[in-house]
Structure formats: structure tokens, C-alpha cells
Amino acid sequence: MKKLRGLIKKVKKKFFNKKPEETLSENSLSLFNYDRHVVETAVESNPELSKLIERGEKDLKGFNRLFEDIYGALQKQHPTILAEESIAKEYRANREHLKDIMDSEDYDDLRQTTKLNKSLALATAQDLARKILENSPDETEKRRELEKEKDRLEQLIERAEGLEGEGASEDHLELYAEAIEKAAADIEKLEEEAAQITSNYAQREALKEDLEETAEKATGLVEMLHSFGYSQEELERVSPDRMLRMLDSVYDHRQLKDMMEIIGRFRKLARDLLSKATQKDHFTISGVGFGDDIADMTDYEAISAMHPALQKDFLSRWSDGELEVYVRDDDIPSGKGPMIICDDISGTMKGTRDSYAKGLIMACLEIARKEHRDMHIIYYESSIKKEVSIRKGKIRPEELIEALVYFTGGGTNFERPLARTAELVRSSQMKKADVLFLTDGIAPISDEFAQQFAKERKRLEFKVVSVLIGDDLRGEQKEESVRTLKSVSDYHLDAKDLTTKNAKEVIGSMLN
């Protein structure tokens, strides 16, 4: 039957033997092969991203291509959406997603942060794609229905071809032709409904909210890291998965904005104190070396920084740490001791007190960076929960964010972090350390421990500054806490709030 054979050929070509036309794109954005290679490499090296793409492909048609499009829209210098007619039909719903993203008020601000930064663009694309997938209507059931109908159509075609070969009657074959036509029409309708589900979501306010949240996370993180002196080049070296973890940490830590105000204030105090200490110190220039500290750069570099023709090369050398800088006597290892910070992360420290503690930690990090001193942070509650070692004040961006947001809650034990402190000082790396012990609470210290710790302080020549933050304790409890802390300290500060005056005292005590 000629009609049946023609119908079967047409249906097979449409539903089972699809070959994408070379002139049509699976992407909605103009991308180079290199852009796709960057995404492919990221997917292969990042298990979380790989799982996201795999899950997305089950729920949203062309999710992998959508991810490539979002990455390109965030990273490329001049992202361009393709005309609808140049995109393969089954991928056109992605164009609606992308258009809504690029038309959003938050897109331009976000792109200023992610443009030409592959790592950050991949991380923010993953964050946004994850939200799109979480908030999108699930196409899975519709897909299953489609596959079921396609299986039924294939069976009809096989049966019809078999009957024709067996010489079945025209009337019999006509019935099969009608059934095949109906099945093909049903499949077309299901495909249109599935596409409509995706494009409907693209119009929803949820996508705008997703983009706003992602933009807030990305711009906030980059501004914060830049404020700590990290260059764009350093941020580009952070892997996308670590960058995403930083994005999540910053956004989930709701008090971080308030904390940054305190941190900024304390870091400025540290810089001011360092400046005054440097002015008082006598030093001589012992030679010329290479580095990234513009305060010590040579006259030639100062001229290069100002001259339009030399600025580009100057910035390149600065980012690579290859500026010519004067080497001063105080840049040569001077015997200044390392710092150990014991940070109380028990439940009562949550909120402003933790912000004060983290502010002091960051001020100490400023000192460690400037004076090339080692630093060790002990996070404690009823037990020691985490330790972070920082060599010569150098810390990776992701480690810095972790140091800022780390908090657990729990009880309080003073002896364990102090015992660990003594153990660290006994090691060759942390000899003659300056120790800062931060808490808001009360915990028992036995007379035997206090006496032994005092002997260790004297023998190992390290000093301890304790700070009691907050004013919850009253009467005898307050007296007991102060007495306990003084028994293991060389200097104790009782601070209801860390004002500029007493913050200066604490930070200044860390300067040798």
C-alpha cells in the first residue's frame, strides 16, 4: 500500500531518525567551541555539576545546552542571543529562559562581576541553573508519556510493515495507517505541551528572584574578597566548585553584612597601628627585590603606575607580584612570633559577639600578612571543632570565607583549646607565639591546669591575651569568669562591646 509506506517513511524521519540540520544550533547563544570545551571540562572535573546536568537532562529538555548558554551569557565580553529560526526547534524553549535572564535588571550588574572570569561565571551559572531546575515544573511525567507514545507508534509501524509483507488486505492496512496518523498527532501535541511548560516558567517571577539572589551572592562575594586584597587574577585561579561553595557560604551566613562592617573597622585599626609602629621603628633599605606591596615600590614603578604608556605593564607586574620593591630591614625575618587565636564558637557567641571575634581574627590576619607571621586558629566549644593554619599571613580566598563563617554552637571548655595551644607552642613552628583567647562565657579551669599552664607560658616564652566579650554574666558568675581567664592570661580585657579603644588594646597586643 503506497499511502502506508509514504506515511511510515514520513513518521520515521520525524520521530525516530532525527538528524539535526547543520544550519540549526542547539545553543541559544552564539558560542565558540572553546566555550563548550570550558563547560565540558568543568562538568568532567566537578561531580556536583555533573550530577546537576544529569538530573537536569531528565527534567528539562536541553538542560546541558541551557547551562552552556547561561555560562556564555555571564562570561563572554559581548554575548549575543541567536535568532529563533536559527535554533533547532527542540531547543527553542531555552532561548526564552536566556532572554528573560539577559533582560532582567540584575543581569548587567551580575555580568560586570562575572565577565571574562571563567571560574566565577561557571559557579554563578551552576547556582542559577540549579535554581531554575528546582523551581521549574517537572517535565519528567510528560517525557514518560511521550516515550510511551513513541514506543506504541514504533510497535504500530513494525506491525503494519509485517502485515504488508504478508499481503494483508487494503482495508486492514488502512486501519493501521489511521492509527499511525493518530499516534503521530498525539506525540506532536505532547511535545508542544512539554515545550509550553518550560516557556511558561521562563515568564514567571521566580526566575527574576533566582537571578537577583545569584547576583547578590556573586557581587557580595567579589566585593568582600577584593576588600581583603585579592586580585581578579587570584579569583580566577579558584576552581568553580570552590567558588560555588563560597557563594553559598556567604549567602547562607545572614549576619555577614553586619560582620563585614565590624571587620572593616578592626582591619583599619590594625593598619593604623601597623603604620604607627613602622614609623617609630628605625629601619634601613637593604636592597631591591620583587613583590606586590605598592607601599615599598621603587621610584621607577611609581612613575610607571602614573604614566599612560606604562600603566598596562605596571598592572601586569603588580598582579604577578613582580614589582620592583625596596627591601627594608623589617622585611627580613625579624623574629616576630606567630599568632594563635582561640575562637569560642559555642551557642551563646552567635550573632554580634561572633562578629566581634571574627573581626579580631581578621585584624590579626592583617598583621600576619603585613609582618609575614604564621597564624593558627583554633575553633572551640565543648571540644576543638576545627583548626586552620595560615603560613606567613597567606590564605586562599575559599579558606578566608570559611574562616569568616565557621560556627557550630555548643557548650564551652577552656582547657582543651589552651592545652592545644601549649602543644602548638612546643612545636618548632609556633615558638614564642602571641595567643589571643576569645570567649563570652564561663568554663572551669582546675588549679592544677592553671599552674601547669603558667609554667609552660614562662618556659616557652609565649603570652596570652584573653578577651571576655558581652555582658550576660553577672555577679559571682562574672567574677568567676574573669578570675578564671586571668589565671591563664598575661593580659585580660573585659569588653561589653569592643569599642575602638579596647579593640585597639587587643589588636595592639598582637604587635611585637
pLDDT digits (tens, 9 = 90+) for 459-475: 998 999 999 987 766 66
State phi, psi for 323 to the nearest 5 degrees.
-70, 145
Torsion region of 475: left, alpha or beta (phi above 0 gives left; psi -120 to 50 gives alpha): left
Report the distance separating Cα 493 and Cα 360, nearest Å: 13
Distances (CA, A) of 422 to 132, 275, 415, 427, 454: 51, 31, 11, 9, 10
Q: What is the dihedral of CA 166, 172, 175, 179, to 10 degrees?
A: -30
pLDDT above 90 (res 453): yes
Nearest-angstrom CA–CA distance, 59 and 67: 14
Q: So what's the pLDDT on residue 91?
A: 83
Please report the pLDDT score of residue 16 as a whole number.
Answer: 66
Judged against a pLDDT cut of 80, whether residue 8 lies above it is answered with no
Q: What pLDDT is recorded for position 508?
A: 83
- Reading phi first (left if > 0) and then psi (alpha if -120 to 50, else beta), residue 87 is in beta
Q: What pLDDT score was predicted for residue 198?
A: 54
The pLDDT value recorded for residue 501 is 72
Q: Three cell numbers at 470?
A: 558581652
Q: How confident is the model at residue 262 (pLDDT cuts 50, 70, 90)?
A: confident
Residue corresponding to grid cell 504478508: 166
pLDDT of residue 179: 84
CA dist., res. 322 & res. 324, Å (int)? 6
Q: For the segment 307-332, what is each residue's pLDDT rounded down to a tens digit?
A: 666 777 777 777 767 777 766 544 43
CA–CA gap between residue 139 and residue 196 (Å, rounded)? 10
Question: Could you tell me the pLDDT band of residue 137, with boundaries at 50, 70 and 90?
Answer: low
> Is the Cβ–Cβ distance between 459 and 342 less than 8 Å?
no
Q: Which positions ≥6 away from 223 have C-beta within 8 Å?
A: none
The residues that bridge with 325 in the sheet, in sequence order, are 289, 297
Q: What average pLDDT does the chain have?
A: 81
Measured CA to CA, the distance from residue 126 to residue 434 in angstroms comes to: 42
Residue pair 247/123 in contact by the 8 Å Cβ criterion: yes
Mean pLDDT value across residues 395-418: 89
* Burial track 98-126 (b if 16+ CB lie within 10 A, e otherwise): bebbbebebbeebbebbeebbbbbbbbbb
With a cut of 60, say whether residue 160 has pLDDT above it: yes
pLDDT of amino acid 34 = 92
- Given a cut of 80, whether residue 423 has pLDDT beyond it is yes
Contacts of 315 (CB under 8 A, 6+ apart): none
* CA separation for the pair 88, 71 (Å, rounded): 20
pLDDT tier, 234 (very low <50, low <70, confident <90, very high otherwise): confident
Percentage of the chain beyond pLDDT 70 is 82
Q: How confident is the model at residue 195 (pLDDT cuts 50, 70, 90)?
A: low
Question: In this structure, are residues 194 and 139 in contact, taking their beta carbons and an 8 Å threshold?
Answer: yes
Q: Which helix (H) or strand (E) holds 463?
A: strand 463-469
For residue 125, what pLDDT is reported? 93
Please name which of 71, 398, 113 lies closest in space to residue 232, comparing C-alpha atoms. Answer: 113
Residues 6 or more apart in contact with residue 307 via CB below 8 angstroms: none
Q: Predicted confidence band at 190 (pLDDT cuts at 50, 70, 90)?
A: confident
Q: What is the pLDDT of residues 352-367, one digit of tens each?
A: 889 889 989 999 998 9
Identify whether the C-beta of residue 380 lies closer than 8 Å to the C-beta of residue 413. yes
pLDDT higher than threshold 70 for residue 496: no
pLDDT at position 406 is 87
Out of 236-240, 245-249, 390-394, give the one with best mean pLDDT.
Answer: 390-394
**What residues does each domain of the chain span?**
1-221+230-252, 283-331, 339-509
pLDDT band at 421 (very low <50, low <70, confident <90, very high): very high
**Confidence band, pLDDT 50/70/90 cuts, at residue 142:** low
The class of domain 339-509 in CATH terms is alpha beta
Answer for the pair 251, 217: CB distance below 8 angstroms, yes or no.
Answer: yes
Q: 358: closest CA among 482, 511, 256, 224?
A: 256
pLDDT tens-digit map of 47-88: 989 999 998 887 777 899 999 999 999 999 999 999 988 988
Distance CA 4, CA 465 (A): 91
Most confident of 117-121, 200-204, 417-421: 417-421
